[in-house]
Amino acid sequence: MAASGGRGLSPARRRKRTRLYLVLGGLAFLALAVGLVLAGFRDNIVFFFGPSEVAAGKVDPGRTFRLGGLVKDGSLARPGGTDGAVLFTVTDNAAEVRVRFAGLLPDLFREGQGIVALGALDGEGLFVADEVLAKHDENYMPAEAVEAMKRAGTWQHGEGGPGTAEPGYAPEGQ
Amino acid sequence: MIAELGHFALALAAAVALVQAVVPMLGAARGDGAMMAAAAPAALVQFGVLGIAFAALMHAYITSDFSVLNVIENSHSLKPLLYKVAGTWGNHEGSLLLWVTVLALFGALVAVFGRNLPPSLKARTLSVQALITLGFLVFMLLTSNPFARVFPPPIEGTDLNPLLQDPGLAFHPPMLYVGYVGLSISFSFAVAALIEGKVDAAWARWVRPWTLLAWTFLTAGIALGSWWAYYELGWGGFWYWDPVENASFMPWLAATALLHSAIVVEKRDTLKSWTILLAIIAFGLSLIGTFLVRSGVLTSVHAFASDPDRGIFILLLLVVAIGGSLGLYAWRAPGLQGGGLFRPVSREGALVLNNLLLSAAAATVFVGTLYPLFLEVLTDDKISVGPPYFNLTFTPIMGVLVIALGVGAMLPWKRGDLGAVTRRLTVACVVTAVLMGLAALLYWQRSALAVAGLGMAAWLAAATLTQLWQRVRPTARIGVGEGVRRMAGLPRAAWGMTLAHLGVAVIVAGATGASLLTQETISSGGPGDRFTVGDYAFTLESVDRVAGPNYAAERGTFRVTDAETGDEIATLHGERRRYVAGGQETTEAGIRSDLGGDLYAVLGQPTDDGGWTVRLYRKPLVPWLWIGSGLLVLGGLFSLSDRRLRVGAPRRSGTRAGGVARTQPAE
């Protein structure tokens, strides 16, 4: 309809009409983008919880969330088996959660280090992780692990969290 | 001594930047030719001085000067030379130094190649560029001095994070920075044009090569980073929607849109104020990316150190640069005169659609990346937005873009006929249908979405080739041989477009294969054990201890055979390395690539029963990702080499009147 109706218009009217198309097109795409974003947010936002909150029953089994904290010393077991799963305990120095993970642990995964795991609780309180992340830079702690300890009230300043490490070199690193 | 020289050079550069920012701008306002002419030499001096500072830091790294704090924290005398050099930018201070050096490099390039620019535009552009440089130099001098000394110096350094000790990553930051920071030139041109109050075809012609150059490097940098993540992290993915990746991807999306809208300004003298806005947004997103990565609000391999002061300073820079330029835009843009008219169905209309889709895609990435940060600041909730969000929002938008691209590139300027274009695409439709049928036979069981993805790739490739062919052979009266001969005569920019669009098609196919058709097995076992992945059988032959220059490793040897016939296919070596200096461990995947896909084997940690965890993949079409990225880069280079777009050299009209070079309007 625009092809036949636009021919007799003055340049100014036609320019306005072009602008109208542009604005309408822009609005349509804005609506599309907003719709997609809202739909994306509804199902795919993942909340973070620390071990104490898990112990307090704040998370229902089956709900995906991020668990952060320290890997408890001496808790790591690698029974092997067909899926090569490992078991370890995540602690915030107040409460503990046992974690099962079938996959490759990140290179910087150590006992005593901070980690973040993505997964859900099964019915028996075991956290089944789909993904385990350790901070790439081992001088620092993942922010989430610090957060877990802060929430549990066991965080001590100077434990090596972001922003607390002294900008010096580590002579013991040799 | 050399470190002090570097520090002094930084301070000197800040002084030069101040002069370069103030004098030419005043000169342009007063119409004082001598003051405007100060811009070019100042830009060259600026680059020279920063080059000295950069060389001084690199010297400290190469000679392992452990009296410099930065070198202690990021280097080690046993490190191979390549990584000593790469260590220069593998840390917070050094990467900022690279940032400002690239800023100055682009200023110098404009000074050298921009001889034909109107003096006032050139003066203002270089002045804006110097303002950005000044901001970053002050930031460095106040909070991040790369040349700080330590007394007494230690005997040995603490080494560069071993994950970063890799050829792919050695060159990833410089490439990315040339791209990121290169967008500053489009930004400076846009701000200068707003001050001048004039945007015309000539302006677009000057800006486009710089945008193209930045875009090409940005593409290469992102692709290198993705390639590195794929083979180095050992997780087998090529894109994680990590905020740091998004930080480089958003400017890329905006730059891609800018590249296309600048064509409309150049050819049709319309969409001016939108193009200016895009130039501001593209560089604004680069600055936001720098803020995200450098301020420590994100924790990742790229966030070297976190210091709240630094974050606040960069945030301030961000607010001044983006807020200031958008304010200027709001004030001056309404005065820009619109030009050529066009119908919704036309090349212009298609390019507008391209811009809308790319902007919408950039917006969804922006929201997904920054929403968790905002939420954490406003409430105490800590959330994360992962790949599922991006798959749901970004992917459909790009799907529409890929389908529309096939049609849009065929439309003529001003007014097009959708029916005629569809008829010309009949062959492409048939080819797509046949290839989709084949893909469905092979993969329908595994993933119907994958069939759709491969179909889109086939469609885009077929439509792009059709477009190229019909350009040289518009009617059947021209013989096939004549058509082929005419191809050689096509402008390089046309080849650039074809290559880049083909690159997109190849990447779509690669991404489909890598994300939807991958087969993986995670298991554990010892030497002699056999694991099946799809049609392949991996046998762990042995695990040996080997020593590298600055690490010791466990190397697993995997023999890959056809699961049915038992034919030998490949032998892969997956390593776990432990670095001597820092004690960090890294995983080196064993990969065998061919056109059909990759075989990928990772040796994991030892298990309690004396075996090892293993992770094995068959990843179809992954090499297509790198081939497609290569085509994009090649397309960018082809376009850049086009005579009509020779960097900063618009065609002269032959006469100079009053010192102002006249340029011909775009044809």
- Give chain B positions within 8 Å (CB) of A25: 344, 352-353, 356
Residue B665 has a pLDDT of 36
Determine the angle formed by the axes of helices B272-294 and B167-196, rounding to 10 degrees: 140
Please answer whether residues A46 and A85 qualify as being in contact, where contact means their C-beta atoms are separated by less than 8 angstroms.
no
- Taking CB atoms and an 8 Å limit, are B296 and A162 in contact across chains? yes
In this predicted structure, the answer to whether residue A8 has a pLDDT above a threshold of 70 is: no
Q: Is the pLDDT of residue A2 over 70?
A: no
Chain A positions in Cβ-Cβ contact with residue B307 (cut-off 8 Å):
163, 167
Give a yes or no: residue A170 inside a domain.
Answer: no
Question: Which residues from chain A sit within 8 angstroms of residue B380, using beta carbons?
Answer: none
Burial classification of residue B73, based on how many CB atoms lie within 10 Å of its CB (0-12 exposed, 13-18 middle, 19 or more buried): buried
With CB atoms and an 8 Å threshold, state whether B156 touches A174.
Answer: yes
Q: Tell me, what's the pLDDT at B305?
A: 46
**How many domains are contained in chain A?**
2
Chain A positions in Cβ-Cβ contact with residue B343 (cut-off 8 Å): 2-3, 6
* Same-domain pairing of A39 and A56: no
Confidence band for A79, pLDDT divided at 50, 70 and 90: confident
Residue B301 C-alpha, separation from nearest chain A C-alpha, in angstroms: 5
pLDDT single digits (tens) B290-314? 877 776 665 444 444 456 667 778 7
Q: Which residue has the tokens 């690239």?
A: B102
Label residue A165 by pLDDT band (50, 70, 90).
very low
Averaged pLDDT of chain A? 74
The answer on pLDDT for A141 being more than 70 is no
Q: Are residues A24 and A54 in the same domain?
A: no
Q: What proportion of chain B, given as a percentage, has pLDDT over 90?
A: 47
Mean pLDDT across A80-103: 85
ipTM summary value: 0.70
- What tens digit of pLDDT does each residue of B550-570 get? 788 999 999 999 988 889 999
**A18–B584 CB contact, under 8 Å:** no
Rounded-to-10 torsion of CA B183, B186, B192, B194: -110
Per residue in A113-126, pLDDT (tens digit) is: 788 888 999 888 89
Nearest-CA distance from B273 to chain A in Å?
A: 12
Percent of chain A scoring above 90 in pLDDT: 7
Are both A30 and A54 inside the same structural domain?
Answer: no
Q: Read off φ and ψ for residue B292, nearest 5 degrees.
A: -60, -45
pLDDT of residue B663: 37
Three-state SS letters, B627-647: HHHHHHHHHHHHHHCCHHHCC
pLDDT-derived band at B599 (thresholds 50, 70, 90) equals very high
> Average pLDDT for residues B628-655, to the nearest whole number?
72
Looking at the partner chain, which of B303, B367, B581 has a beta carbon nearest the beta carbon of A37? B367
Is residue A146 located within the same domain as residue A90?
yes
Report whether A157 belongs to an annotated binding site: no
Q: Quick one: A62 and A95 in the same domain?
A: yes
CA B443, CA B445: separation in Å to the nearest integer?
A: 5
Residue B18 in tokens: 């101040």
- Chosen for mutation from B304, B355, B357, B384 (greatest number of chain A CBs closer than 10 Å) is B384
Range of the domain at A77: 47-155
> How confident is the model at residue B455, as a pLDDT?
95
Cβ contacts of B72 on chain A, cutoff 8 Å:
169
Mean of pLDDT values over B26-37:
91
Q: Is A146 part of any domain?
A: yes
A118 interaction partners in chain B (CB closer than 8 Å): 386
CA nearest to B587 within chain A: A107
Q: What is the 3-state secondary structure (H, E, C) of B98-132?
A: HHHHHHHHHHHHHHHHCCCCCHHHHHHHHHHHHHH
Mutation site for B-interface testing, chosen from A19, A41, A116 by largest number of B Cβ within 10 Å: A41
The alpha carbon of residue B48 and the mean position of all alpha carbons in its chain are separated, in whole angstroms, by: 26
Task: Kindly state whether residue A100 falls inside one of the protein's structural domains.
Answer: yes
Query: Per the domain annotation, does A70 fall within a domain?
Result: yes
Mean pLDDT, all residues of chain B: 86
The answer to whether the Cβ–Cβ distance between A138 and B163 falls below 8 Å is: no
All residues at 6 or more sequence positions from B658 whose CB lies less than 8 Å from its CB, including other chains: none
Query: What is the model's pLDDT at position A162?
Result: 38
Least confident of B73-82, B140-149, B504-513: B73-82
pLDDT of B298:
59
Mean pLDDT across B630-648: 81
Distance from CA of A101 to the nearest CA of B (A): 11
Distance from CA of A103 to the nearest CA of B (A): 6
Distance CA A4, CA A18 (A): 14
Amino acid residing at B86: A
Are B432 and B477 in contact by the 8 Å Cβ rule? The answer is no
Of these ranges, A47-61, A79-93, B99-113, the one predicted with the greatest mean pLDDT is B99-113
Together in a domain, A15 and A86: no
Q: The dihedral of CA B290, B295, B300, B304: what is its sign? A: positive
Both A151 and A71 in a single domain? yes
The reply to whether A38 and A115 lie within a common domain is no
Angle (nearest 5°) at CA B278 between B651 and B140:
95
Q: What is the pLDDT of residue B505?
A: 97
Q: What is the tens place of the pLDDT at every residue in B343-356?
A: 778 888 899 899 99
pLDDT tens digits along A24-62: 888 888 888 888 888 888 777 888 888 988 888 888 888
CA distances from B493 to B165, B353, B667 (A): 37, 21, 15
pLDDT per position as a tens digit, B440-492: 998 888 888 999 999 999 999 999 999 999 888 888 788 888 888 888 888 88
| Best CA proximity match to B107, nearest among B648, B661, B663 | B648
Q: With an 8 Å Cβ cutoff, are B584 and A15 in contact? A: no
User: Is pLDDT of B381 > 90?
Assistant: no
Reported confidence tier of residue B5, pLDDT bands at 50, 70, 90 = very high
The answer to whether residues A35 and A66 belong to one domain is no
Verify that A60 and A138 share a domain, yes or no: yes
The CA dihedral of B612, B618, B623, B625, to the nearest 10 degrees, is -100
pLDDT at site A76? 87
A66, A18: one domain? no
Q: Where are the alpha helices (DSSP H) in B197-271?
A: 201-232, 243-268
Is residue A20 situated within a structural domain?
yes
CA angle B141, B145, B148 (to 5 degrees): 135
Considering the domain architecture, whether residues A77 and A134 belong to the same structural domain is answered as yes
Helix axes B387-408, B492-516, angle to 10 degrees: 140
Helices B2-30 and B39-62: crossing angle in degrees, nearest 10, is 160
Q: H or E element: which one contains B593?
A: strand B590-594
Total beta-carbon pairs less than 8 A apart between chain A and chain B:
177
- At residue B666, the pLDDT reads 35
Q: Is A75 exposed, middle or buried (0-12, 13-18, 19+ CB in 10 A)?
A: middle
Q: Residue B68 above 60 pLDDT?
A: yes
What tokens appear for B434 in the block? 């046949």
Taking an 8 Å cut-off on Cβ atoms, the answer to whether B368 and A40 are in contact is: yes
CATH code for the domain of A87: 2.40.50.140
Predicted confidence at residue B344, as pLDDT, reads 78
- What DSSP string describes A153-174? T---TTSS-TTTS-SS--GGG-
User: Does any domain span residue A14?
Assistant: yes
Q: Are B10 and B53 in contact (CB under 8 A)?
A: yes
**Are A105 and B604 in contact (CB < 8 Å)?**
yes
Nearest residue of A to residue B530 by CA position?
A82
- Which of A148-162, B85-99, B534-548, B551-565 bottoms out in mean pLDDT, i.e. has the lowest? A148-162
> Looking at the predicted structure, is the pLDDT value of residue B647 above 80?
no
Q: How many CA atoms lie within 13 A of B357 on its CB side?
A: 21
Residue A5 lies in a domain: no
Residue of B nearest to A86 (CA): B607
pTM of the complete model:
0.87
Range with the poorest average pLDDT among B11-20, B153-162, B384-393: B153-162
Ranking A147-151, B198-202, B261-265, B524-528 by mean pLDDT, the lowest is: A147-151
A169 within some domain: no
B141 confidence band (pLDDT: 50, 70, 90) = very high
Provide the pLDDT confidence category of residue B512 given band limits of 50, 70 and 90: very high
Q: What pLDDT score does A172 carry?
A: 30
What residues of chain A lie within 8 A of the CB of B373, using their CB? none
What is the length of chain B?
A: 667
The two three-digit tokens of residue A87, written as one number? 């078991």
For B324, the enclosing helix (H) or strand (E) is helix B324-332
